[in-house]
């Protein structure tokens, strides 16, 4: 390898980068450990508030390589919900309320009937809601236009009675999309204020859904209220600082008194007392004076008491021109202070504080501006967002960004009075309790049309316009899918994931050494480097590590073995030809390159389909699988080769087999082809039995495919699933599905309960009632703890079914296309497609036939679909390696006189050692995952294990025999007319003698020019 030094440098650079990104995870975990130790009392109990204070105290401090603890935490390799507990929610913005609002809350019976019919249809339809509504409206109102409903004051300027239905539909879609965008931004702001580290919030393309993942949260009720509440937009008058300056002095006096009492309580040392007194003497005249210092020159407070009170105040508040400033870390303390009765008594009764939505940077610190707003006796605002008819980002006459806002007649009247009373003062625009802007009123606004100007960027102007429009349409979000993972179940998943990963890795490493001897050590080093790079890249990309992600890592390691196996088997072949070791290594890598690239390309295509169609946990699996493919290729092609050549250069002895495995698969001569009809029959019987089972019995559908609510419940003692089912039948109205969860390893005290109770209701109250009914029903069995729960509405369940079908069909189509493109013969494409379809049908058959008979869940859900797609990729990995050797043998001129079955049999036998080693190593990993990986992925790992067995079988006994059948038929067609001149195929060039009748002598052609032309045609024709 001429560029060995380049490889070493590149590997070193990658290693340093990976170490850099992984270091943030180690540092973050170390500080979390220190915080826990700090907050743990002698009884071993952890004070969560104390732990959070420790973290908050370092949040903005540099702790590692110039990064604050906040930045370190944001860059660490995050754990998913299944590993640390938390909540996954899929929200859907209701288009019904938006359409009703756009219609001016029309009471037209046909309009309401069309809406109701559309809602009902959407439960089992994938069509756009607005299009479906328009279609239903036209059916019910053939003589009426949509404009008759939507041409009202709220839509003045965009719709009139002459507007076509198409334009109305376009407008409604625009408003619905805008509402979804606004809901997404509002939820982002709410979650940011919720205090969750590294939340995952994303809008699902092509739908009205928003996915939210909050790892570590332990208050589901609060989260539901946070995410589903409609946006509350308000306009409030603002108290300026000078309006409540006396109250600030009083608050300072209270703080000073508390400081003195604290010092007296701890009996501070005289030196410390003197230092405090000196500090107080040097203090300025207090925050109240500093903040209220205007042109009139307010009188200074000269007394020492006022100075000390001001000092106490400045320790908590930061001087700002237009508001009180509070450091982000001090907001909890300030909130508690301002809520105290003695402090409230100093402030005007209608004064309420609200933070600005974004912090300001002051002297390198993040400071929250605290704006004092005026509210009514019951906390109401003088004007809310329901009066807004439109808002948009615009430009003023000077070309500066501003925001235009229009109100309805009622809002215009109230806005006129509000602006008239506050000329020269500010009015705060508040959304969900946070101030987004507080513009100064320049004059009375009589008609409800306003322009808000300032130093806006275009993006800030658009954001403000969206905020104002958030109050225009009532667009509540409904929870259509939900999953809650308790911290207990999460910690168990972490243990299971780590244990399965370590054991799986050790098994693979030991197997490689046992089979390949010293070269196995080199493969192990490459595998460990591959794992290190994989984790480092995940950390650099900000990926989230989930339990299926751990499965993906372990499986990637198992499949990465395949590249080394292919290389080592090729090197062994070259050594058997008598080549020197260095040349055998070089030729071995060269000959294995095509198989490795082709096989990994097919797996990559499956991984990309998973990335495109997958969500949640499956997405985590797909990310690790795709990254693992690239790292394994680098480790195999560059790291393994550099290590091998370094070993040879040192003159060290190296073997590619052990004494035990030296003669394994050597000179094997299995006849794979002749009994292909038998294999076809066996597969057909299994698939046929599966089809019968599917028709008569069906599948055990997971909650994400049939809709409903699922609860994982743990009891203190072993329980019977039949007893639980009977006990829940009465409170739930129907017997739920109850399965043991966790197997015998947990002691039989956990069950998974799936029910359709209130599945059509998406309210928080319905969620609470459903769980209460479950706990009520199982109460007689002793203490029961809900470890996790999930909910999927019927609409999203249908979406998942269609999405899964699309992904499977897309996987088969992509595989067929790649094989056809790469091997340029339909026979290979057909063989690959039949093999992949065969594997999918076999797995479906097994999951249907054995559902209910095995002591673990065989539910068909998203994880199962992910397993299917991965099996398809693995099967193609195996099939492509076999096809690559078949193609090589078919193009070998020394084998042109052999029959196609013979050639293909020889090709299969030559790759048998590789097929066995790769299959065994991957199965070892999956057996470990199945046993130690935990109940969360037991069904997934079982599907993968069966899939590897079936995939290996199909590569040898289905895919390649299909190729034999097709190539044999092609050969027979070409030999039907032996006298006719035929173009040569790529394997043999016929001579004119091939077409002579027995006993006939070759004759001299009288027209040599014509003969020359015929020969030329024979050469060109196949290329056309």
Q: Residue 84: which pLDDT band, with cuts at 50, 70 and 90?
A: confident
User: Tens digits of per-residue pLDDT, 863-877?
Assistant: 777 677 777 777 877
Q: Residue 747: which pLDDT band, with cuts at 50, 70 and 90?
A: very low
Paired residues of 236 in beta bridges: 428
pLDDT of residue 682: 92
Q: Using CA atoms, how far apart are residues 194 and 455, in angstroms rounded to an integer?
A: 29
User: Tens digits of per-residue pLDDT, 285-306?
Assistant: 344 444 444 333 433 434 444 5
Q: Please count the residues of the chain.
A: 1024
| pLDDT over threshold 50, residue 332 | yes
CATH topology of domain 708-792: Alpha-Beta Plaits (3.30.70)
Q: Using CA atoms, how far apart are residues 882 and 953, in angstroms rounded to an integer?
A: 12
**383 φ, ψ to 5°?**
-150, 135
Residue 932: which H helix or E strand, with range? helix 912-932
Residue with tokens 């208050």: 219
Q: Using CA atoms, how far apart are residues 373 and 434, in angstroms rounded to an integer?
A: 11
| Two structure tokens written together for 588 | 């071995």
User: Tens digits of per-residue pLDDT, 634-676?
Assistant: 888 888 888 888 888 888 888 887 777 777 777 777 888 888 8
- Global pTM? 0.64
What are the residue boundaries of the structural domains of the chain, listed by start? 4-76, 90-230, 486-696+800-966, 708-792, 977-997+1004-1023
Kindly tell me the number of DSSP H helices and DSSP E strands found in the chain: 36, 23
pLDDT of residue 419: 93
| Two structure tokens written together for 222 | 């609060």
Q: Using CA atoms, how far apart are residues 847 and 864, in angstroms rounded to an integer?
A: 10
| Two structure tokens written together for 676 | 């292909």
| 264 CB-contact burial (10 Å; exposed 0-12 / middle 13-18 / buried 19+) | exposed
| pLDDT over threshold 90, residue 20 | yes
| Two structure tokens written together for 436 | 């987004």
**Positions of E strands within 199-253:** 200-203, 209-215, 233-239
Half-sphere exposure of 337 (CA within 13 A, CB side): 17
Among 196-205, 451-460, 576-585, 718-727, which is the least confidently predicted range?
A: 196-205
Q: Using CA atoms, how far apart are residues 453 and 559, in angstroms rounded to an integer?
A: 60
pLDDT of residue 797: 56
Cβ proximity of 333 and 52 under 8 Å: no
pLDDT of residue 261: 73
Q: From residue 516, how far is each of 565, 659, 756 by CA, in Å?
A: 9, 9, 54
pLDDT of residue 999: 43
Q: Using CA atoms, how far apart are residues 603 and 827, in angstroms rounded to an integer?
A: 21
What's the average model confidence in pLDDT over 511-540?
88
Q: Using CA atoms, how far apart are residues 332 and 314, in angstroms rounded to an integer?
A: 16
Q: Nearest 5 degrees, angle CA 369-CA 371-CA 375?
A: 155
pLDDT of residue 827: 84
Torsion of Cα atoms, 812 then 814 then 815 then 820, to 10°: 120
Cβ proximity of 962 and 819 under 8 Å: no
DSSP string, 348-373: -TTEEEEEBSS-EEETTEEEEEEEEE
Q: Residue 818: which pLDDT band, with cuts at 50, 70 and 90?
A: confident
What's the average model confidence in pLDDT over 921-950?
81
Q: Nearest 5 degrees, angle CA 550-CA 737-CA 722?
A: 115
What's the average model confidence in pLDDT over 516-544?
87
Cβ proximity of 407 and 389 under 8 Å: yes
| pLDDT over threshold 60, residue 335 | yes
User: Tens digits of per-residue pLDDT, 766-793?
Assistant: 777 888 888 888 888 888 888 877 776 6
More confident residue, 751 or 897: 751
pLDDT of residue 793: 63
DSSP string, 117-180: HHHHHHTT--S-HHHHHHHHHHHH-TT--THHHH-SGGGTTT--TT--HHHHHHHHHHHHHHHH
| pLDDT over threshold 60, residue 1017 | no
Cβ proximity of 359 and 59 under 8 Å: no
Paired residues of 90 in beta bridges: 211, 481
User: Tens digits of per-residue pLDDT, 571-590?
Assistant: 888 888 888 888 988 888 88
Half-sphere exposure of 438 (CA within 13 A, CB side): 24
| pLDDT over threshold 90, residue 629 | no
What's the average model confidence in pLDDT over 720-725?
82
Cβ proximity of 918 and 564 under 8 Å: no
| 279 CB-contact burial (10 Å; exposed 0-12 / middle 13-18 / buried 19+) | exposed
pLDDT of residue 474: 57
The mean predicted confidence, pLDDT, of the chain is: 77
pLDDT of residue 997: 41
DSSP class of residue 241? G
pLDDT of residue 154: 66
Write the secondary structure of 955-966 as one string of H (helix), E (strand) and C (coil). HHHHHHHHHHHH
pLDDT of residue 544: 76
Provide the percentage of residues in the chain whose pLDDT is more than 90: 7
What's the average model confidence in pLDDT over 545-573?
77
DSSP class of residue 701? B
Q: Residue 97: which pLDDT band, with cuts at 50, 70 and 90?
A: confident
Q: Residue 996: which pLDDT band, with cuts at 50, 70 and 90?
A: very low
| pLDDT over threshold 90, residue 1005 | no
For 894, residues 6+ apart whose C-beta sits below 8 A from its C-beta are none
Three-state secondary-structure class, residue 879: helix
More confident residue, 703 or 356: 356
**CB contact burial 385-420 (16+ within 10 A = b; e otherwise):** bbbbbbbebbeeeeeebbbbbbbbeebbebbbebbe
Strand pairing of 86-93 and 477-485? Answer: antiparallel
Residue with tokens 């539901």: 224
| pLDDT over threshold 70, residue 148 | yes
What's the average model confidence in pLDDT over 115-144?
81
Q: Residue 16: which pLDDT band, with cuts at 50, 70 and 90?
A: very high
Paired residues of 19 in beta bridges: none
Q: Using CA atoms, how far apart are residues 1005 and 1019, in angstroms rounded to an integer?
A: 19
pLDDT of residue 644: 87
| 1020 CB-contact burial (10 Å; exposed 0-12 / middle 13-18 / buried 19+) | exposed
DSSP class of residue 483? E
Q: Residue 686: which pLDDT band, with cuts at 50, 70 and 90?
A: very high
| Two structure tokens written together for 134 | 């328009």
For 716, residues 6+ apart whose C-beta sits below 8 A from its C-beta are 749, 782, 783
Cβ proximity of 535 and 22 under 8 Å: yes
Strand pairing of 708-715 and 233-239? Answer: unpaired
**476 φ, ψ to 5°?**
-65, 150
DSSP class of residue 635? I
| Two structure tokens written together for 742 | 């966790």
**390 φ, ψ to 5°?**
-165, 155
DSSP string, 462-480: HHHHHHHHTTTS---EEEE
pLDDT of residue 1002: 47
Q: Residue 210: which pLDDT band, with cuts at 50, 70 and 90?
A: confident
More confident residue, 996 or 399: 399
pLDDT of residue 642: 87
For 255, residues 6+ apart whose C-beta sits below 8 A from its C-beta are 309, 312, 313, 315, 316, 337
pLDDT of residue 198: 65
Across the chain, which distance is largest between two alpha carbons, in Å?
134
Q: Using CA atoms, how far apart are residues 437 and 978, in angstroms rounded to an integer?
A: 89
Cβ-based neighbour number of residue 1010 at 10 Å: 10
| pLDDT over threshold 80, residue 631 | yes
CATH number of 486-696+800-966: 1.20.1640.10
Q: Using CA atoms, how far apart are residues 933 and 938, in angstroms rounded to an integer?
A: 7
Q: Using CA atoms, how far apart are residues 130 and 319, in angstroms rounded to an integer?
A: 52
């Amino acid at each position: 390898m001429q560029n060995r030094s380049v490889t070493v440098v590149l590997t070193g650079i990658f290693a340093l980068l990976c170490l850099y990104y992984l270091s943030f995870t180690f540092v973050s975990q170390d500080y979390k450990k220190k915080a826990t130790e700090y907050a743990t009392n002698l009884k071993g109990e952890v004070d969560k508030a104390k732990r959070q204070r420790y973290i908050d105290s370092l949040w903005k401090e540099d702790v590692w390589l110039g990064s604050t603890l906040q930045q370190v935490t944001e860059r660490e390799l995050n754990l998913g919900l299944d590993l640390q507990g938390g909540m996954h929610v899929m929200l859907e913005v209701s288009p019904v309320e938006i359409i009703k609002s756009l219609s001016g809350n029309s009471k037209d019976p046909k309009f309401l009937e069309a809406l109701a019919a559309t809602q009902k249809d959407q439960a089992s339809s994938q069509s756009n809601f607005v299009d479906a509504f328009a279609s239903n409206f036209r059916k019910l109102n053939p003589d009426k236009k949509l404009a008759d409903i939507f041409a009202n004051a709220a839509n003045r300027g965009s719709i009139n009675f002459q507007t076509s239905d198409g334009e109305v539909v376009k407008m409604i879609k625009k408003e619905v999309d805008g509402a979804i965008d606004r809901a997404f931004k509002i939820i982002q702001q709410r979650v940011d204020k919720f205090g969750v580290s590294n939340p995952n919030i994303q809008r699902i393309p092509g739908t009205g859904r928003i996915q939210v993942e909050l790892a570590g949260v332990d208050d589901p009720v609060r989260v539901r209220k946070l995410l589903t509440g409609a946006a509350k937009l308000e306009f409030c008058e603002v108290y300026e600082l000078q309006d409540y300056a006396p109250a600030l002095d009083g608050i300072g006096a209270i703080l000073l008194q508390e400081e003195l009492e604290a010092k007296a309580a701890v009996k501070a040392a005289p030196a410390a007392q003197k230092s405090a007194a000196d500090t107080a003497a040097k203090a300025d005249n207090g925050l109240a004076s500093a903040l209220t210092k205007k042109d009139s020159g307010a009188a200074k407070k000269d007394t020492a008491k006022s100075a000390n009170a001001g000092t106490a105040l400045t320790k908590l508040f930061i001087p700002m021109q237009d508001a009180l400033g509070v450091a982000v870390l001090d907001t909890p303390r300030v909130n508690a202070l301002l809520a105290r009765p003695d402090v409230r008594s100093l402030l005007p009764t209608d004064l309420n504080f609200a933070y600005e939505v974004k912090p300001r940077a002051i002297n390198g610190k993040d400071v929250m501006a605290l704006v004092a707003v005026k509210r009514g006796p019951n906390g109401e605002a003088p004007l809310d967002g329901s009066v807004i008819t439109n808002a948009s980002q615009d430009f003023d006459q000077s070309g500066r960004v501003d925001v235009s806002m229009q109100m309805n007649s009622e809002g215009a009247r109230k806005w006129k009075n509000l602006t008239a009373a506050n000329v020269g003062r500010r009015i705060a625009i508040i959304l969900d309790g946070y101030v987004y802007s507080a513009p100064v009123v320049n004059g009375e606004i009589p008609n409800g049309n306003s322009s808000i100007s300032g130093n806006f960027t275009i993006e800030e102007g658009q954001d403000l316009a969206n905020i104002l429009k958030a109050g225009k349409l009532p667009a509540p979000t409904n929870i259509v899918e939900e999953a809650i993972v308790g911290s207990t179940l999460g910690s168990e998943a972490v243990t299971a994931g780590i244990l399965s990963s370590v054991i799986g890795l050790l098994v693979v490493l030991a197997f490689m050494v046992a089979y390949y001897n010293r070269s196995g050590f080199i493969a192990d080093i490459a595998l460990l480097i591959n794992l290190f790079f994989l984790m480092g890249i995940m950390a650099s990309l900000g990926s989230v590590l989930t339990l299926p992600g751990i499965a993906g890592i372990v499986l990637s390691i198992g499949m990465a073995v395949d590249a080394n196996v292919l290389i080592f088997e090729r090197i062994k072949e070259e050594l058997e030809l008598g080549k020197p070791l260095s040349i055998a290594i070089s030729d071995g890598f060269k000959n294995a390159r095509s198989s490795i690239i082709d096989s990994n390309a097919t797996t990559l295509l499956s991984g990309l389909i998973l990335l495109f169609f997958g969500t949640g946990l499956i997405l985590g699996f797909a990310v690790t699988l795709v990254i693992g493919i690239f790292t394994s290729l680098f480790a195999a092609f560059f790291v393994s080769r550099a290590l091998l050549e370094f070993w040879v250069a040192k003159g060290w002895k190296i073997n590619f087999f052990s004494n035990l495995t030296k003669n394994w698969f050597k000179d094997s001569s299995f006849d794979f082809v002749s009994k292909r009809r038998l294999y076809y029959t066996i597969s057909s019987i299994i698939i046929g039995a599966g089809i019968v089972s599917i028709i008569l019995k069906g599948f055990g559908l997971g909650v994400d495919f049939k809709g409903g609510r699922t609860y994982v419940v743990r009891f203190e003692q072993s329980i019977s699933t039949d007893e639980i089912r009977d006990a829940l039948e009465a409170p739930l109205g129907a017997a739920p599905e109850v399965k043991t969860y966790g197997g015998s390893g947990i002691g039989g005290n956990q069950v998974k309960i799936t029910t359709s109770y209130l599945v059509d209701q998406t309210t928080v109250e319905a969620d609470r009632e459903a769980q209460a009914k479950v706990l009520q029903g199982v109460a007689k069995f002793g203490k029961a703890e809900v470890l996790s729960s999930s909910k999927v509405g019927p609409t999203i369940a249908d979406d998942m079914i269609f999405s899964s079908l699309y992904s499977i069909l897309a996987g088969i189509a992509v595989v067929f296309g790649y094989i056809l493109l790469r091997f340029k013969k339909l026979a290979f494409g057909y063989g690959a497609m039949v093999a992949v379809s065969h594997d999918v049908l076999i797995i479906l058959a097994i999951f249907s036939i054995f559902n209910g008979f095995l002591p673990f869940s065989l539910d068909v859900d998203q994880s199962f679909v992910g397993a299917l797609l991965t099996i398809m990729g693995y099967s193609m990995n195996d099939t492509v390696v076999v096809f690559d050797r078949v193609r090589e043998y078919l193009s070998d001129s020394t084998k042109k006189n052999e029959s196609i079955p013979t050639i293909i049999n020889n090709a299969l036998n030559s790759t048998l050692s590789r097929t066995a080693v790769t299959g065994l190593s991957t199965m070892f990993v999956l057996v470990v995952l199945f046993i130690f990986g935990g109940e969360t992925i037991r069904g997934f790992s079982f599907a993968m294990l069966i899939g590897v067995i079936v995939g290996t079988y199909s590569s040898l006994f289905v895919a390649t025999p299909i190729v034999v059948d097709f190539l044999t038929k092609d050969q027979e067609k070409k030999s039907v007319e032996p006298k006719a001149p035929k173009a040569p195929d790529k394997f043999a060039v016929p001579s004119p003698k091939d077409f002579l009748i027995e006993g006939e002598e070759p004759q001299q052609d009288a027209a040599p020019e014509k003969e020359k032309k015929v020969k030329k045609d024979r050469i060109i024709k196949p290329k056309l």
